[in-house]
Structure 1
Amino acid sequence: MDLTREPHRSIRDAADNIREYNHRTINGPEAFYGEHPINTAPPAIGEAVGALYVLFERLPQAVDQTAAAVRHVEEQQAIRMANGDDPGEAVSRLLRSLIDARQSMLLAQTHLRSAVQVSSNMAGHWLDDDQLEEAR
């Protein structure tokens, strides 16, 4: 964790990591296959679901802290709108949008929690060595 970077860089790096995941998995479930796909894919998918939950668990705090920064800068009267809009009105719209986004994240978190409850129990079949050789 590098706490010396500009705050937006952390979020952009997280977005890049999600993009990497999307590219790895775009062509199908093979990205989740290990040496023995029958055994490793189900728990690997479960791990991905759990990681998505953790991501959405952390996003509301990021939105809250960003909104707090917006409010602080507004209190300092340090905002000028390049398009000529009234800063107060623009900040109100921005904060409303962040609140709405946060609510959506909390809803997604609820659904992902349910998904984790199911996926955390997913496992591959127990196969003996001969069956594993045939599955390759």
Structure 2
Amino acid sequence: MDLNRTPAQIANAAADEIRTLNHRTIDRKAFEQPGDVAATVEALTRLVQGLPQSLQQLEAGLNKLHDDQRIRLDDLPPEAVSQQEMRRRVVTVTSALQEARVTLSRLDHQLKWAVAPLSHMGGLWEGDEDE
């Protein structure tokens, strides 16, 4: 685990890996056995399960930056930015992150529904293909 990267670098690396997965699985031959599908869904489930914590920590980070008055807006002149306007924008972001966590919870639930039957699927026994 390389903790010397910025959070954005880590998130970009994760996004690149998902893009690689998407390209790799375009070919239906990427999965030789049902277990390959199951293992991939299980790994994606773990990824989804980790995202709510990431989003919660992003929210905490933004709130800390706001509390420390370390945010500026580049779409308004400084004299036009009130604390109320700044707070409104921070709340917009944190509310969206909270809703994303709810959505991820539903996604996690659906992935678990997929994993359950997948865990009982196996490939054909040797010789079954000939029958």
What's the TM-score, normalizing by structure 1?
Answer: 0.84
Q: Which residue number in structure 2 is paired with residue 21 of structure 1?
A: 21
Q: Distance in 1 between matches of 2:62 and 2:119?
A: 38
Q: What is the CA distance between 1:16 and its match in structure 2?
A: 0.4
Kindly provide the CA deviation profile for residues 19-65 of structure 1, in whole angstroms up to 9, marking residues without a partner as x.
00001112x421113xxxxxxx2110111111111111101010011
- Structure 1 gap segments, 5+ residues each: 34-40
The worse-fitting range, judged by mean Cα deviation, of 97-106 and 82-91 is 82-91
Which residue pairs with 1:75 in the alignment? 67
Which runs of structure 2 are paired with 1:36-75 in the superposition (5 Å)?
Answer: 41-75=33-67
- Which residue of the partner structure matches residue 99 of structure 2? 100
Cα separation, 1, equivalents of 2:37 and 2:122: 10
Aligned residue identity for 1:2: D
What secondary structure is seen at the aligned counterpart in 2 of 1:121? coil
- Could you tell me how far apart the structure 2 residues matched to 1:87 and 1:12 are? 27
**How far apart are 1:88 and its partner, in Å?**
1.4
Q: CA deviation at 1:15?
A: 0.6
Report how far residue 110 of structure 1 moved.
0.7
Question: Counterpart amino acid of 1:96?
Answer: S
Q: What code does the residue aligned with 1:6 have?
A: T
Q: Helix, strand or coil for the counterpart of 1:72? A: helix
CA RMSD of aligned residues (A): 1.5
Quote the residue 1:2 is aligned against: 2
Q: Secondary structure at the match of 2:104?
A: helix
Identical aligned pairs, as a percentage?
A: 33
TM-score w.r.t. length of structure 2: 0.87
Count of residue correspondences? 123
Given residue 111 of structure 1, which amino acid in structure 2 is its aligned partner?
Q
Measure the CA separation in 2 of the matches of 1:47 and 1:93: 37
Q: Which amino acid aligns with 2:106?
A: L
What is the distance in 1 between the residues matched to 2:53 and 2:119?
A: 25
Q: Which runs of 5+ in 2 are unaligned?
A: none
Structure 1 segments (4+ residues) deviating >2 Å: none
What is the DSSP-based 3-state SS (H/G/I as helix, E as strand, rest coil) of the residue aligned with 1:80? coil
